[in-house]
Amino acid sequence: MKLLHLSAERIASAVRSGEISAVELLDEVVERIRAVEPKVNAFITITKDRAYEKAKDVDRRVRRGLKVGRLAGVVVAVKDIICVKGVETTCGSKILKGYLPSYNATVVEKLDMEDAVIIGKTNMDEFAMGSTTEFSAYKVTRNPYDLERVPGGSSGGSAAAVASGEALLALGSDTGGSIRCPAAFCGVVGLKPTYGLVSRYGLIAYANSLEQIGPIARNVRDCALSLSVIAGYDPRDSTSLTTQPKDYLEELNAPHDLKGVRIGVIKEFIGEGVQKGVASEVLDAIYSLEELGASVGEISLKSLEYALAAYYVIAMSEASSNLARYDGLRYGLRAPDQGLNWSRAYAKNRRLGFGEEVKRRIILGTFALSAGYYEAYYLKALKVRTLVLMDFQRAFKEFDVLAGPSMPMVAFRIGEKIKDPLELYMCDVNTVPANLAGLPAISIPCGLSEGLPVGLQLIAPPMEESRLFKVSYSYESLGKWSFTLKP
C-alpha cells in the first residue's frame, strides 16, 4: 500500500489501530523527500532524527495498548516562522540564522500532544513578506505543478511540501493571504481561521493585528482535523479568544445538503485584472453548488477598492515596530568588525541581515507612522479597515458565505514579477479583506487554467469555520477535483 496517497485522517486511524506503523509512513515520506526536495526546495530545515524518535514512540505506545492522539503518526511540516524548541527558526532571514528557540509555539505543543510527527521547517518569504517565496534568504521554492513557476507565498514551502508529498499536513501563517495564496497556486486546501481562534504564541510577529496560523492540507476533512487540533484558547496569547474546543471533523459527518445556504459572489473579486480562465473555473465551481441546494447571488462591497492600500499601510507600520528588535547583538546574525559603536553595529547588522523586501517595508512603515504622516496614512488606513468590516457585516445579513477567486491569476513564472513591488502587492487584492476584518477564509482547488490549479475562496462570519468546511466539503464531494501528488 502506498501510504503517501492516503489522507491524514486515514493514516492516523490506521496507526491507532496498528494496521500500519508510524515509522513505516515516515520511511515513505523520507524517501519522497530524498527524491523531490532537490527539485522543489520546500524545506529550510529537515528534522529527520527528531521525527524518527517521535514515530518510534508512537508505535511503542500503540503496541502497549496506550492511547495515542488524533494525528498519530501523521507527518507534518511547520513554517519556519513558528518556533520549535531546539530547532533552528530563521523566518527565511539571514538575521535569524542560527537562532534556536528555547520553547515551542502553542500550535507545536498541540501537534505533539496529538502525536503528529514534525518532519521539518518550511521555506518562506523573509519574515512572511511576499507572495511568491522568492524573498527567502536561503532558496527559491518551486511549484510542484510546474517547477519553473512560483508556489505562492509567504507559506510557499508549506503548500509545496503538501502538494509534493513531502508532508501530509503543514502549518502556515496568513497575514494577507499567505496561506490561501500558495494553497491556490499548488492545488491544495488552505485555511485562515478567525483572528484569535488559533494561538499566536510562538509565531514570530510580522503584523500582530492581521496574522493567524492555519492549516494546509490535501482535502477539506484533513484541514478540519488539523484545525480541531490547533484551535483553542491560550492564556499566553493576549489576542486568543476564549472559545470552547470544537471537533470540526465530526461536524462534517452530517449529510452534504446545502439547502437554504446562501452564497454571495463578491463582484469586486471577479473584475478587472482577473484572468478569464480563473474567473470561469471559479464561477463554474460556485454555481455547481446549486446542485446541492445552495442559492447563489451577487453582492458588491464598495470598500474593497481601498482594502489593499489600507492593508499594506497597516502591515508595514506594524512590521517596522516588530522588526526593530532584531539588532544582531543578542541572537542571530552579528556582522564582523563592528567596533564598540552601538549605533554602527546595529545599522550594519540590519543592513546585512535583512533582505531588500524587508527593508522596503520597514522604511515605508516607519514613514507611515512618522510625525506629520500618521493621520494621513496610518489613521486613515484604520478607518478604511472599519469600513471593510462594516461592509462584510452588511453582506452577511444577506448571505451565509461569500465567494470568489483566491488569487486573480494562476501561478506565474519565477522572476516574472519580482522586480515590480506594486505588481506583486496587487496579487493580494482578493485575500487581504478577510485579514482586515478578522474573518475565516478558505481556499479550495476547483479546477485548472493553463494546466495550473485555480483556487476558490470562501469567506464566512467570525467563528463560522464549520460553515466554510460544510460548503467546501460539499463541493469536494461533487468529485470535480481530486488531489494528485506532484511533481
Confidence at residue 1, expressed as pLDDT on a 0 to 100 scale? 54
The domain of 54 spans: 3-262+401-477
Confidence at residue 339, expressed as pLDDT on a 0 to 100 scale? 67
pLDDT one-digit tens code per residue, 59-84 = 999 999 999 999 999 999 999 999 99
Confidence at residue 338, expressed as pLDDT on a 0 to 100 scale? 65
Residue 148: band (very low, low, confident or very high) from pLDDT cuts 50, 70, 90: very high
List Cβ neighbours of 212 (8 Å cut-off, separation of 6 or more): 173, 174, 192, 193, 194, 195, 197, 198, 200, 435
Judge if 255 and 318 occupy the same domain.
no
Judge if 356 and 472 occupy the same domain.
no
Residue 155: band (very low, low, confident or very high) from pLDDT cuts 50, 70, 90: very high
User: What is the share, in percent, of the chain residues with pLDDT greater than 70?
Assistant: 99
Listed residues 321, 350, 381: the one ending a domain: 381
Judge if 75 and 207 occupy the same domain.
yes
Residue 161: band (very low, low, confident or very high) from pLDDT cuts 50, 70, 90: very high
Listed residues 381, 414, 431: the one ending a domain: 381
Average pLDDT on 51-64 reads 98
Judge if 350 and 411 occupy the same domain.
no
Indicate whether this model's pTM tops 0.95.
yes
Confidence at residue 331, expressed as pLDDT on a 0 to 100 scale? 80
User: What is the share, in percent, of the chain residues with pLDDT greater than 90?
Assistant: 91
Burial 253-292 (b: 16+ CB within 10 A, else e): eeeeebeebebbbbebbbeeebbebbbebbbebbebbeeb
Judge if 249 and 316 occupy the same domain.
no
Average pLDDT on 298-320 reads 97
- Contact, 441 vs 478, CB < 8 A? no
Average pLDDT on 56-61 reads 98
Judge if 365 and 408 occupy the same domain.
no
**Residues known to be catalytic:** 79, 154, 178
Judge if 87 and 196 occupy the same domain.
yes
State how many domains the chain has: 2
DSSP run (H or E) holding 120 = strand 117-122
Confidence at residue 284, expressed as pLDDT on a 0 to 100 scale? 97
| Separation between Cα atoms, residue 223 and residue 209, nearest integer Å | 24
Listed residues 381, 413, 438: the one ending a domain: 381
pLDDT one-digit tens code per residue, 217-273 = 999 999 999 999 999 999 999 999 998 889 999 989 877 789 999 999 999 999 888
CATH assignment at residue 456: 3.90.1300.10
Average pLDDT on 376-391 reads 97
Evaluate if residue 361 carries a pLDDT over 60: yes
